[in-house]
A and B are shown apart, each in its own frame.
Chain A
Amino acid sequence: MASIELHNLTFHYPDAAAPALTDLTLSVQGGEFVVLSGPSGSGKSTLLRLLKREVSPGGRLSGSILLDERQLEAWPAREAASAVGLVMQHPDNQLVVDTVEHELAFGMENFGFDRSAMRRRMAELAGFFGLEPLMSRRTDELSGGQKQMVNLASVLMLQPRLLLLDEPLAQLDPLAARELLGMIKRLNDEWGMTVLMSEHRIDDILPLADRVLRLDRGRLAFDGPPRQFAQEAWRRQDPAWVEALPAITRWALSHDGSDSIRAAETPPLSVKEARQWMHRRAVQAAPLSPAGPAQSLGTDVAHKPLLRADGLFFAYDKRSPAVMRGLEWTIRQGDRIALFGGNGSGKSTLLQLLAGLLQPQRGEVFVEGAKLRRLPAAARYARIGYLAQNPLLHFAYDTLQEDLLHAARRAASANPAEEVRRMAERFGLQDLLQRHPHDLSGGERQLGALALALVSRPQLLLLDEPTKGIDALAKSRLAGHLLAAHETGATLVVATHDVEFAAAYANRCSLLFQGEIVADDEPDTFFRGNLFYAPPLHRLFHNQTPSPVEQAVLR
């Protein structure tokens, strides 16, 4: 149980003009679960790192940080290192050694624990985290969710009193994220561990948290319980705030009308609460019409097929199981497809096959009737753009400008420099052109990679999880650019876990399962039949629509 107190904390990075944190005064009680929210660059990571002395950034600091009523600087090195645990965003980069067992032991080795103490803690925590079956596995064979679970467990081996989490869920798929979040909640509930967690996507976390802190350009903009946060966000009507709310809450608040928000009436934060809220207020489910232009292009079958996959069969090697098993799929001109599928279901592989980056063992991909593999490579890559999950993969030069220039020359643009300028302007990247791609934020990298892919004006753009790890505002900006690209004639396929993003921007949803497309429908029809791959609003109204049994009877 550790409490934190900050008094007038101000922090300047060495070269920065404006302070990263300004005059923060707040306190966190022992055993609280506190969520730190705020857009990218608002100082969330800086604050968390200042609380963890070993990784504190260099710079000018004024004010004081008290951990358990003791100045943080006054703590002895070893105690400080073990009292505060930190889990960061990227699951891969936090793993130090090769096997799970050794990774878990790493922290204890650093503290010179003797062997029996190590084994005992290992036994206890491995059991608690359900990591026993993974103990002898190599860490690079694990899934992202498992890696992050190992990271969390290995930090807890030192029995910290305060757990800091810097966007631990950003790189995980929703299922793994929920599992990790459940574990964090358990630590908080059962061990009374103080948790301070920053996250972009706070809709899942809001119902679990005791308190929300909102930072805005380094200043404390809100400090209070989640429900109050929801009301405050709604009162402000600032998109940056409203986007952070769960869709359910937004729906309930908008249903309420702005006049009737009273302090006593608490907005629902989960589907369960929303059901009760509807019941209390006798609200009838409105017919579902999700916001966005979802239906505008819906059922236009006149569009001719652009890309057709015919009996695709693909395996990475002879011994491993096939990823694609006779997949049939048609992408029509003007589609905006959201491609769903579980982790490891082969979404990325499918996109790479469609882009012609991988060759299927059997089957063929046709572009407007012509065999994709017969097209010359340059033409193929110009017509079909592909954006990998990690945007960093797309950069190869020292500045964004050079990268764009290279792409423009390759696209045989008449005036490459002019083209780069136009692209930068279109994506709002003018100020970043001289930066190294690695110095950009996640959202900026994503936009940069998108710009690179769009230079050749592809007919078809395949995107692999473009919304991963970026905040709500960056997401809506990205969606805007995608829609703009669509308007100028690009067909889009987006592999994603983000059902709300899909519901708002796709006009077709497909589900990949066991190497085949098993569902392919308009969003509304698609979501109606689903419980898991459905936005919360659809889940809320699920029992208002005919159940599968009723549907079967109706037939």
Chain B
Amino acid sequence: MNEGFGVRSLHPSVLLLYYAGGMTFGMLLFHPVILFSGWAASMVFNFHVDGGKEWRRWSIPAISSFVFLMIVNPLLSHRGRTVLYYLGDIPITLESVVYGATMAASLLNLITLFLSYRVLMTEHKFLYLFARLSPKAALLVMMASALVPRLRRRLQELMLVQKMRGITVTEGSLVQRARNGTRLVGTLLSWTLEDALQTADSMQARGYGTGPRSSYPAFRFRWRDAIAAAGLVAAAVVVFGLWVGGHGFLTIYPKLGAFGLSAGDRAAMLFYLVYLLLPLGWEWRDRKAWQALNSTT
């Protein structure tokens, strides 16, 4: 999809900030209502980003882990004062049921958030961030990521051809297979090392190691990135302040507190949702721009 459009156009560091904050709050705020509304917001986000494609792919494992946690917690934990009923001689308490549901909601939240992370934070963007921390390590990662597909292709070719000579890992005794396997990998490695010498030559020929390196800027920090970052930080400060003030989480143990949301809880929830949906502002803005463009032409 278009990398210059909407949420995708944001600078990698802004995206990193968004996900770091989103995940932190998904764990700090411990109230089923807040978490479920947060999950709904993340779903909206997901659907904006890729039409829910990634979510559909992962929905079954995500929901089954949600259900699993919800069932398992009351079975294993018997804390809490309000016993609902006895399963054999295992007491099932209201508190551990609620705790399990909240924890499961928190997990679902994180998974949903991570799905859009996978879509937005491409390898390229991640490496860009990484390169700022350590240019050398980033170069290494990039070289490795160029090498891995090459190695895989080569191993396939090698296995195909060596099969003719009877050097294969799919037939013969276990010992024979192991011996053939090491022979194949050994050949692959000596071949790759041979080539690595040429790669090293090519690097040196282009002046690698002649002095300090710079790094090619693939992304620019624009105004929209600054605005988005400022908005995110502001919302995060409010939510965090409220959390420190004791809002946004449900007292469960030893006895379940009031389920309703206090004014402070409601404010925390509001700003949490603002935080989660804020980057979509750029998505909506850019879509409007397209619509305006299309309607005039």
Task: Point out the residues of chain B lying under 8 angstroms from A78, CB to CB.
Answer: 207, 210-211
Report which residue of A93, A99, A390 has the largest number of chain B beta carbons within 10 angstroms of its beta carbon: A93
Does B178 belong to the interface (CB within 8 Å)? no
CA distance A377 to B194 in the complex (A): 32
In the complex, chain B residues whose CB is within 8 Å of the CB of A92 = 150, 195
The answer to whether B201 touches A82, judged by C-beta atoms less than 8 angstroms apart, is no
Q: 25 A-B Cβ contacts within 8 A?
A: A54-B205, A55-B201, A55-B204, A81-B205, A81-B207, A90-B195, A93-B198, A93-B199, A93-B202, A98-B143, A106-B206, A108-B216, A109-B214, A109-B216, A110-B210, A111-B211, A112-B211, A119-B217, A139-B146, A140-B146, A357-B161, A381-B165, A396-B165, A397-B183, A410-B166
Interface-centre pick from B139, B171, B199, B206 (highest chain A CB count, 10 A):
B206
In the assembled complex, how far is the CB of residue B204 from the closest CB belonging to chain A, in whole angstroms? Answer: 4
Chain B residue at minimal CB-CB distance from A403: B165
Nearest to B218 among chain A residues (CB) is A101
A94–B209 touching, CB < 8 Å: no
Select A396's contact among B162, B208, B210, B218, beta carbons within 8 Å. B162
Task: Say which residue of A95, A106, A352, A377 sits within 8 Å of B160 (CB atoms).
Answer: A352
Q: Is the interface of B mostly helix, strand, loop or mixed?
A: helix
Interface residue tally of chain A, by bracket?
35 or more
CB distance from B179 to the nearest CB of A (A): 11
Contacts of B187 in A (CB 8 A): 395-396
Within 8 A of A (CB), among B169-210: 171, 183-184, 187, 190-191, 194-196, 198-199, 201-210
- CB contact list, A395-416 vs B, under 8 A: 395-397, 406-407, 410
Q: Which of B99-126 contact A (CB under 8 A)?
A: 124
- In the complex, chain A residues whose CB is within 8 Å of the CB of B214: 108-109, 112-115, 118
**Interface bin, chain B:** 35 or more
Q: From residue A117, how far is it (CB to closest CB) to chain B in Å?
A: 9
Considering the complex, give the chain B residue whose CB is closest to the CB of A439: B194
A residues sitting closer than 8 Å to B (CB atoms) are 52, 54-55, 77-78, 81-82, 85-86, 88, 90, 92-99, 101-102, 105-115, 118-119, 138-140, 151, 154-155, 158, 352, 355, 357-358, 377-378, 381, 386, 388, 390, 392-397, 406-407, 410, 438, 452
If A78-B207, A97-B139, A355-B164 touch, whether A438 touches B146 (CB-CB below 8 Å) is no
- Would you call B145 an interface residue if the criterion is a C-beta within 8 Å of the partner chain's C-beta atoms? yes
B50 at the interface (CB under 8 A from A): no
List residues of chain B with CB within 8 A of the CB of A105: 216
Chain A-chain B contacts (Cβ-Cβ < 8 Å), number: 151
Q: Known: A110-B207, A393-B158, A393-B161. Contact between A115 and B202, CB under 8 A?
A: no
A54-B217 Cα distance, complex, nearest whole Å = 27
| B interface, CB within 8 angstroms of A | 124, 139, 142-143, 145-146, 149-150, 153, 157-158, 160-167, 171, 183-184, 187, 190-191, 194-196, 198-199, 201-218
Q: Please list the 3 inter-chain residue pairs (A to B) with the smallest Cβ-Cβ separation, ordered nearest first.
A: A105-B216, A81-B207, A107-B206
Q: With contacts A107-B206, A110-B207 known, is A357 near B213, CB below 8 A? A: no
| Inter-subunit contact A407/B165 (CB<8 Å) | yes
Q: Is the CB of A381 within 8 A of B164?
A: yes
Q: Is the CB of A110 within 8 A of B208?
A: yes
B213 near A110 (CB under 8 angstroms)?
Answer: yes
**Chain A residue at minimum C-beta to C-beta distance from B192:** A93
Contact of A94 among B164, B199, B211 (CB under 8 A): B199
